[in-house]
Amino acid sequence: MEELAVLATSAGAEVIDRVLQIRVRLDPATLVGFGKLAQIQQKVEAEEIETVIFDHELTPTQLRNLERRLGIKVLDRTQLILDIFARRARTSEGQLQVELAQLNYLLPRLAGRGTQMSRLGGGIGTRGPGETQLETDRRRIARRIAKLKREIERVRATRGVQRSQRQAVPLSTVSLVGYTNAGKSTLFNRVTGASVLADARMFATLDPTVRQIRLPSGRRVLLSDTVGFIRNLPTTLVEAFRATLEEVTAAALLLHIVDITSPTAAAQTAQVLEVLGEIGAETTPQVLVLNKSDRMPPEYRNQDLATLTHRLLGETARQNATQAVLISAQTGDGLDGLLNVIDRQLAEDPVTRQKFRLPLSEGRAMHLLHDRAAVISRHYADDYCEVVADTPESIRQKLAEFVVE
């Protein structure tokens, strides 16, 4: 219920009241029971409430019956999330994906409105069965869905080309994943110096952003920020954002960001792992990043990391994580340790210590070492310079003629 309230606030609503019902069986007509519905109706009238939001997906029949009974707008959890996504989408790609999800949600909910929207009537050309507005709307929406899918496939193909071009250069991709509002964008901005919107509202980031960062060893990697996950993420959204989520599946390493101040951190972590399984990224190596250490309760501060992780998240969180790191994206505490962990975890383009003998005329090679490797020492002679550096394999191969065995 608390999460639903945060979602509603993120969508621009003011939460007036909350109602909870526990039932053995959901009512097929109105979801809640007759007495509970009467209670809600009284609150609506007394408080002059404009919208009622249910933390459950409503069937078309339930939605129609509730709106008729309450006389105001009724939304379910999926509609609320879709509305937030529609508000947050900034790029044309994000807007296409949101529209596709909305239309896929709307299509089966057109049922039951055919009589009200019928074109049947008197006059020339209207005799016979004719065609109801419902059928026309269904066909128009189906055509629009087909067009959106074609456009998103083009986006997907373009992303594939861009990804192939990136992979042609030996740069590993590290993706930030986690529950919405866990601090992914704050961490991304802190590490890359970017200005991605970092907001306390849910789903502040929809469109993926990729930036290059330099690790302590000197090698460079690509860091991507992605959309946050949430409990019961609508299937229509998972399908629509598949092109975006491919950035996660193509990553060499996932940084699973967890808000350790959340009272439901364990459940949120399990939900992220479930979505990763749905998109085929459950086997990708993960580093568990415990964020917001600056707001950690005092009783947790003196515990070692393994005990803290088990206490907050249980065993489920560690099933794919190779290591856990405690940080604060807000203050920067622990970020040096996180970058070192990333450096050690990435198997692609491994770093080894090499000695190079560079002619003094090879300024370009010297620049490459300083730019893409960690130089340990330099020794100048009459016509050459000996450089010892921790060097990525790709750079060692480029400068193989200068390597001193």
Q: In Å, what is the CA distance from 124 to each residue of 121, 130, 131, 132? A: 9, 12, 14, 16
**Look-up of token digits 């239309």:** 103
Q: How much is the pLDDT for 386? A: 92
Q: How much is the pLDDT for 40? A: 92
Distance CA 95, CA 85 (A): 9
Nearest by Cα to 191 from 218, 167, 212: 212
* 383 and 340 within one domain: no
Q: Could you tell me whether strands 321-326 and 351-359 are parallel, antiparallel, or unpaired per DSSP bridges? A: unpaired
10-residue averages of pLDDT along the chain (405 residues): 85 88 89 91 91 89 89 87 76 76 79 43 43 72 86 75 58 84 86 64 58 82 80 68 67 88 85 82 85 83 76 67 84 91 78 88 86 85 89 81 86
9 burial class (0-12, 13-18, 19+ CB within 10 angstroms)?
A: middle
Nearest by Cα to 202 from 394, 10, 42, 403: 10
* 356 and 265 within one domain: no
* 304 and 363 within one domain: no
Q: How much is the pLDDT for 41? A: 92
DSSP labels for 217-233?
TS-EEEEEE-PPB-TT-
Pair of tokens at residue 185 = 């964008």
What's CA 52's distance to the chain center, in Å? 27
Q: How much is the pLDDT for 127? A: 42
CATH code of the domain covering residue 179: 3.40.50.300
* 279 and 255 within one domain: yes
**Look-up of token digits 């502040």:** 204
The answer to whether residue 92 sits within a structural domain is no
Q: Where in the sequence is the domain holding 47, given as residue range(s)? A: 2-83
Distance CA 260, CA 174 (A): 21
The answer to whether residue 306 sits within a structural domain is yes
Q: How much is the pLDDT for 10? A: 80
* 311 and 182 within one domain: yes
* 312 and 377 within one domain: no
What is the amino acid identity at position 319?
Answer: Q
What is the DSSP-derived secondary structure letter of residue 14? Answer: -
Distance CA 314, CA 293 (A): 18
**Look-up of token digits 């930036």:** 211
The answer to whether residue 98 sits within a structural domain is no
* 189 and 248 within one domain: yes
pTM given for the model: 0.69
DSSP labels for 340-392?
HHHHHH--SS-EEEEEEEEETT-HHHHHHHHHHSEEEEEEE-SSEEEEEEEEE
Tally the C-alpha atoms within 13 A of residue 402's C-alpha that lie toward its C-beta: 27
Distance CA 351, CA 101 (A): 44
Residue ranges of alpha helices (H) inside 250-362 are 265-278, 305-313, 335-345
* 364 and 324 within one domain: no
The answer to whether residue 372 sits within a structural domain is yes
* 322 and 179 within one domain: yes
Pair of tokens at residue 90 = 């900034």
Pair of tokens at residue 179 = 């529950």
* 277 and 394 within one domain: no
What is the amino acid identity at position 215?
Answer: L
Q: In Å, what is the CA distance from 104 to each residue of 111, 142, 151? A: 13, 9, 15
DSSP labels for 159-203?
HHHHHHHHHHTT--EEEEEEBTTSSHHHHHHHHH-------SSTT
Q: Number of structural domains, the chain?
A: 3
* 339 and 209 within one domain: yes
